């Protein structure tokens, strides 16, 4: 289990130490993996301050001009090392009192953490898990020969040698019949293909589909990799970037995302797209054309939620202040979506995010409505 916070009431026998002075200023639990602000030297849990900085780039909680990370003051680290803490699984029977520095290792190996039995789905203590699963009647097996799935309790009645052989024979007959049907379909398809003498390179599904072969139209995919390096902090996308005006959109470096929020949609997006940078927005942002006489097209974008599943993203397109297009999509944290729009003749698009459900095991808060954008494909007039 990855330790996220330690309530102060889990500290044992700290008679000579004021535990209140060792609490994080953000969520007021005991400091865990602490770092400090170089200006005010206030210590914070590393996970807490990294989350704070995503919502408040470069700003210290104590209103310092700029947050610069430094190591936790040695005297704080020394006091923390003297603490002894009850195990997270104390309520399930663990009576171990562990030193602060050994806590993570113990809780990752503790025999009193629960594991779900793949058969009966009950939560079983780790120390009893092997003994339970070796005899659980609901454990399923799959026969490698006939592919029958059966529970341990039904092995003597549902998967005898006779049943297995009959099922294999039935499967072979069905497979043979299916192969004959497929061969017939392929033969007919080949006959049709041989009669075709022309192919079409461009097909418009409707009148709004953009013909990318138009010589007056340039299709541009923006992956944000040409933005300045941002390995130590999040940065705002320049107001003028790639011929467009960007308002309230920021970007993040891959190494920063992996370091500060490895279980968020930021890390998920980097894993799936291979970018160096990702763009993101919170609540509302916009992109518009720099020239008042030109237009652009919004072809598609790849996006996911940063922290909360079922987050709604509404995209609206405008031309001369008039609403021309709108689309709403529900985003997930661990599954970037390709959103195909093919809107043209725009001079502004607005993104708005709202809602979402918070995972109780995450550090997400009710106002964490960030949307991650892997890439944006637009069309510009030549």
348-357, strands of its sheet edge to edge? 240-241, 244-247, 284-289, 348-357, 309-319, 322-331
Tell me: do 131 and 242 sit in the same domain: no
Tell me: do 348 and 294 sit in the same domain: yes
Quickly state the pLDDT bin for 92 (edges 50, 70, 90): very high
pLDDT at 13 > cutoff 80 = no
Tell me: do 277 and 244 sit in the same domain: yes
- Please indicate, yes or no, if residue 43 is contained in any of the structural domains: yes
Q: What angle do CA 161, 166, 167 make, to 5 degrees?
A: 100
- Please indicate, yes or no, if residue 244 is contained in any of the structural domains: yes
Look over the chain and give the mean of its residue pLDDT values, rounded to a whole number.
Answer: 86
- Chosen domain end from 109, 124, 148: 109
**Residue 231 exposed, middle or buried by CB count within 10 Å (0-12, 13-18, 19+):** exposed
- Segment 223-265, tens digit of pLDDT: 999 999 887 788 999 999 998 999 999 999 988 888 888 888 8
- Segment 170-197, tens digit of pLDDT: 888 888 888 988 888 888 888 888 877 5
How far apart are alpha carbons 101 and 81 in whole angstroms?
A: 6
pTM of full prediction above 0.75: no
Number of neighbouring beta carbons within 10 Å of residue 100: 20
Mean pLDDT calculated for residue range 358-378: 80
How far apart are alpha carbons 330 and 269 in whole angstroms?
A: 16
Q: Are 210 and 217 in contact (CB under 8 A)?
A: yes
Tell me: do 241 and 371 sit in the same domain: yes
pLDDT value, residue 80: 92
Tell me: do 63 and 152 sit in the same domain: no
CATH code, 40: 3.30.40.10
At residue 233, what are phi and psi to the nearest 5 degrees? -165, 165
How far apart are alpha carbons 161 and 173 in whole angstroms?
A: 19
Please list, in sequence order, all residues whose beta carbon lies within 8 angstroms of the beta carbon of residue 264, skipping any fewer than 6 positions away.
257, 306, 307, 333
Distances (CA, A) of 203 to 77, 168, 221: 65, 46, 21
CATH code, 225: 2.60.120.1350
Listed ranges 17-21, 83-87, 207-211, 359-363; the one with the highest mean pLDDT: 83-87
- Please indicate, yes or no, if residue 353 is contained in any of the structural domains: yes
Tell me: do 256 and 375 sit in the same domain: yes
Q: Could you tell me the residue range of the domain that residue 317 belongs to?
A: 217-359+367-381
Tell me: do 272 and 294 sit in the same domain: yes
pLDDT value, residue 202: 40
- Chosen domain end from 94, 128, 160: 160
- Please indicate, yes or no, if residue 194 is contained in any of the structural domains: no
Tell me: do 12 and 96 sit in the same domain: yes
Domain count for the chain, please give it.
3
Tell me: do 24 and 54 sit in the same domain: yes
Distances (CA, A) of 138 to 152, 154, 217: 6, 9, 61
pLDDT at 201 > cutoff 50 = no
Tell me: do 258 and 282 sit in the same domain: yes
- Please indicate, yes or no, if residue 254 is contained in any of the structural domains: yes
- Segment 126-167, tens digit of pLDDT: 999 999 999 998 888 888 888 888 888 888 888 888 888 888
- Please indicate, yes or no, if residue 45 is contained in any of the structural domains: yes
- Please indicate, yes or no, if residue 231 is contained in any of the structural domains: yes
- Please indicate, yes or no, if residue 242 is contained in any of the structural domains: yes
């Amino acid at each position: 289990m990855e330790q996220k916070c330690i309530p102060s009431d889990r500290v044992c026998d700290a008679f000579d130490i004021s535990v209140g002075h060792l609490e994080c200023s953000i969520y007021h639990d005991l400091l865990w993996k602490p770092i400090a602000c170089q200006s005010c030297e206030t210590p914070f849990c590393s996970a807490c301050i990294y989350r704070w900085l995503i919502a408040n780039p470069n700003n210290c909680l104590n209103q310092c001009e700029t947050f610069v990370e430094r190591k936790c003051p040695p005297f704080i680290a020394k006091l923390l090392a003297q603490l002894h803490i009850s195990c997270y699984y104390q309520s399930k029977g663990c009576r171990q009192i562990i030193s602060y520095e050994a806590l993570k290792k113990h809780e990752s190996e503790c025999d009193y953490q629960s594991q779900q039995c793949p058969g009966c789905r009950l939560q079983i203590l780790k120390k009893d898990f092997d003994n339970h699963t070796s005899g659980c009647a609901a454990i399923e097996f799959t026969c490698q020969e006939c592919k029958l799935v059966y529970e341990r309790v039904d092995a003597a009645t549902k998967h005898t040698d006779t049943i297995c052989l009959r099922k294999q024979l039935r499967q072979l007959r069905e497979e043979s019949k299916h192969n004959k049907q497929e061969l017939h379909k392929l033969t007919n398809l080949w006959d049709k293909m041989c009669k075709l003498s022309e192919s079409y390179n461009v097909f418009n599904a409707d009148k709004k589909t953009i013909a990318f072969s138009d010589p007056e139209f340039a299709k541009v995919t923006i992956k944000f990799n040409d933005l300045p390096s941002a390995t130590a902090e999040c940065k705002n996308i320049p107001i003028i970037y790639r011929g467009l005006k960007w308002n309230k959109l920021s970007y993040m470096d891959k190494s920063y995302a992996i370091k500060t929020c490895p279980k968020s949609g930021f890390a998920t997006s980097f894993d799936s797209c291979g970018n160096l940078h990702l763009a993101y927005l919170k609540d509302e942002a916009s992109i518009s054309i720099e020239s008042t006489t030109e237009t652009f097209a919004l072809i598609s974008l790849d996006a996911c939620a940063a922290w909360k599943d079922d987050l709604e993203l509404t995209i609206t397109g405008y031309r001369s202040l008039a609403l021309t297009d709108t689309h709403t999509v529900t985003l997930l944290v661990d599954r970037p979506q390709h959103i195909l729009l093919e809107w043209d003749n725009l001079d502004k698009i607005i993104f708005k995010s709202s809602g979402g459900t918070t995972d109780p095991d995450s550090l997400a808060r009710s106002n964490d409505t960030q949307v991650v954008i892997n890439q944006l494909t637009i069309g510009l007039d030549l």
